[in-house]
Every structure is written in structure tokens, then in C-alpha cells.
Amino acid sequence: MKNILIYILLIGFLISCSGIKKPKKPENLISKEEMVNILIDMSLLSSAKGINKSIIENNGIVPESYIYTKHQIDSLQFIESNEYYTYNLNEYQDIIKRVTDSLIKLREEYSTLAEKENQEKKKMDSIKRSKRKNKGFLLEDIEPVKSEN
């Protein structure tokens, strides 16, 4: 996740320092909001690829193609938009900050969800243990308490 962001920032730095003319604003410029969403998806897929590479490969998922299809863009549109934003460093820093903030929020949400699932699992395990412990114990086996009259 961090590697992609570092890579993108490095590209932006190299482009801005190389004396290249300011790129023209592409006609089909990806909006900042959509660029944030694309970079979030790229980071998530990159992380998933590192953890579950075989699952991704076995399902025939090509991360870049998946992202382009999902966001209805092509590679050229992404490259041109990315180049434009990296040259305009203030805009790109804003995009990267929003991506980072969103990823942190997602991590917190998933951590909370995982904790709730873990608590529910412990509760279910406790119920299963209790059922096993009481297995064979039936209500008919209980003798009624006789009152002393």
C-alpha cells in the first residue's frame, strides 16, 4: 500500500524536477474524487496481491485491468491524468492525503469489524462448549422437587 503511494510520489517528483514543460490538461481528465477512488483501489489490490496472490491469479484477475474496467477508464487516460496531477503538486498532495485518510479509516473500520466477529466467535464457541457439556442432559431426567406438607 505504502509502496504504491511512494512510487507515485516519486514519479511526480521526477516529473516536476526534470524540466519538462507543464503537461496540458487532458480533455478526459479524471476528476480528483475519482482519482482518489482509483488510487485507493490500487492500494487495496496491491495489498491483497501481496497477501493472497494465488487467489487473485487463480481467479484470473489482472489488477490494472480490473481497476480500469471498474472505473471505466483506460490506461492512457490514467497516465495522462496522473501526470497532470503529479505536475500540479498541491493538487496531488491533496489527492494523496485523501487516499491515506481513507485507507486509515478503512483499516479502522475493518479492525472494529474483525474485533466484533472475534467476540461473536468466542460467544458461539462458549455456547457450543456448553451444549457439549450438557449433552445427554434432558428435562425428563430432572425429578420434581417435592414440597413438604
Number of domains, the chain: 1
In this prediction, residue 143 carries a pLDDT of: 64
pLDDT for the residue 85: 94
Sorting pLDDT into bands at 50, 70 and 90, what band is 102? very high
Q: Is residue 139 part of a domain?
A: no
Residue 149 lies in a domain: no
In a domain, 134, yes or no: no
97 is in which domain, residue-wise? 2-115
Is residue 144 situated within a structural domain?
no
- Domain-located, residue 89: yes
What is the Cα–Cα distance from 133 to 73, expressed in whole angstroms? 59
pTM, rounded to two decimals:
0.65
Q: Convert the pLDDT of each residue in 103-144 to its tens digit.
A: 999 999 989 998 988 888 887 877 777 766 666 555 555 566
Q: Are 102 and 36 in contact (CB under 8 A)?
A: yes
- Of 34, 14, 149, 140, the closest CA to residue 89 belongs to 14
